[in-house]
């Protein structure tokens, strides 16, 4: 593989190597970092020209605040992709978490109005457990039954949204304690929004998990060469089960924070997050073939998706056209993944 290194001086009697052309340098940068840096530069230039408010401090802080939910889901989606699959049910997990937590909080708050934090903590626990129950179903289907991730998670997505709509009748759930939204939706600690602090902690935890633990190596190994992991004594089923559980846990956490943000339980809260999270991961260099992915790149990929959406909103681009742009970015990311594979095999 080409490396961006300083060219050595030719020795006596040895012909000097021709200087690298700019195209070769760009190709080497693309192989090492992927398509994300090029897309990021293009987006920054384009949206800066389209809107004077794009690079303001207020807008950048707002962009980061809005991106934390996608970052959390993308971290979990990365585990499914790294192990050779993906999870289309992350939106369902958010919806189920939102509805269950909101109903639990509103019911407990009505029965014990003097207890402020008991309904909040019980509702959060109920929502997280409900979301992770969806992950258990996905994990059992993919790891133990052998259903392909596409069929399994697509079916669970449909079932989960149906359950969420049945529980709410299509009407948002209200009546939650104000402390829930004030703390986890709009609260700050030392001047930093609470959702951002939670996201930073999760990013650090995932970085430690994937780069500093044996389980992180197992995730990459199962996605890269499952036959070799079996011969090494690693239980592929347990690793896959853990991947889908963690994926569901991150989607549930994001759904909980979104519920606090909108101050109601919504059955359609995660409608497009599956596509957005997959796009963020692939743009961030996570391979669709499994075995390759880095936490910091996925975070930048999620921020890039949020940046594009934020820039299009400021440029007054319609929501329908935004869906076209998001799908186009995903196709570009997949094509770039194929090109990187070709360059790797040629090196």
Instruction: Please report the DSSP string for 203-238 in residue order.
Output: HHHHHHHHHHSHHHHHHHHHHH-HHHHHHTT--HHH
Higher pLDDT, 130 or 25: 130
Judge whether residue 268 has pLDDT over 90.
Answer: no
The pLDDT score that the predictor gives to residue 12 is: 55
pLDDT in tens, 85-94: 999 999 999 9
The pLDDT score that the predictor gives to residue 3 is: 42
The pLDDT score that the predictor gives to residue 1 is: 43
- Where in the chain are the domains? 51-346
Query: What predicted TM-score, i.e. pTM, was given to this entire model?
Result: 0.86
pLDDT in tens, 55-71: 888 888 888 888 999 99
Architecture of the domain made up of 51-346: Orthogonal Bundle (1.10)
Confidence of residue 231 (pLDDT cuts 50, 70, 90): confident
Judge whether residue 15 has pLDDT over 60.
Answer: no
Higher pLDDT, 4 or 347: 347
User: What is the C-alpha separation between 80 and 242, in angstroms, rounded?
Assistant: 10
Q: Is the distance from CB of 248 to CB of 47 less than 8 angstroms?
A: no
**CA nearest neighbour of 239 among 92, 91, 84:** 84
Strand blocks (E) in 64-205: 188-189, 192-193
Classify the C-alpha dihedral 148-242-135-247 as positive or negative: negative
**CA nearest neighbour of 250 among 89, 102, 77:** 77
């Amino acid at each position: 593989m080409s490396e961006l290194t300083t060219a050595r001086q030719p020795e006596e009697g040895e012909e000097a190597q021709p200087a690298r052309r700019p195209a070769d340098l760009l190709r080497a940068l693309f192989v090492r970092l992927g398509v994300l840096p090029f897309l990021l530069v293009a987006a920054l230039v384009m949206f800066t020209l389209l809107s004077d408010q794009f690079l303001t401090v207020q807008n950048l802080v707002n962009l980061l605040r809005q991106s934390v939910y996608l970052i959390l889901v993308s971290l979990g989606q990365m585990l499914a992709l790294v192990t050779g699959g993906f999870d289309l049910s992350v939106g369902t997990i958010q919806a189920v978490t939102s509805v269950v937590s909101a109903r639990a909080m509103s019911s407990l708050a009505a029965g014990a109005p003097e207890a402020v934090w008991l309904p909040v903590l019980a509702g959060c626990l109920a929502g997280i457990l409900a979301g992770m129950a969806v992950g258990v179903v996905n994990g059992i289907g993919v790891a133990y039954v052998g259903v392909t991730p596409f069929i399994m998670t697509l079916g669970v997505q449909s079932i989960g949204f149906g359950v969420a709509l049945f529980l709410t009748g299509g009407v948002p759930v209200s009546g939650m304690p104000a402390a829930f939204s004030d703390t986890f939706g709009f609260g700050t600690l030392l001047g930093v929004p609470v959702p951002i602090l939670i996201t930073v902690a999760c990013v650090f935890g995932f970085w430690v998990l994937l780069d500093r633990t044996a389980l992180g190596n197992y995730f990459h190994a199962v996605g890269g060469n499952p036959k070799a992991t079996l011969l090494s004594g690693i239980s592929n089923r347990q690793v896959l089960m853990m991947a889908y559980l963690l994926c569901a846990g991150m989607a549930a956490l994001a759904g909980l924070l979104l519920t606090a943000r909108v101050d109601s339980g919504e059955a359609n809260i995660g409608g497009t997050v599956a596509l957005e999270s997959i796009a963020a991961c692939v743009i961030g260099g996570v391979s669709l073939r499994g075995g390759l992915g880095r936490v910091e790149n996925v975070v930048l990929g999620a921020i890039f998706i949020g940046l594009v959406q934020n820039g299009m909103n400021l440029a007054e681009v319609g929501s329908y056209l935004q869906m076209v742009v998001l799908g186009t970015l995903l196709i570009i990311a997949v094509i770039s993944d194929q090109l990187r594979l070709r360059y790797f095999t040629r090196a």
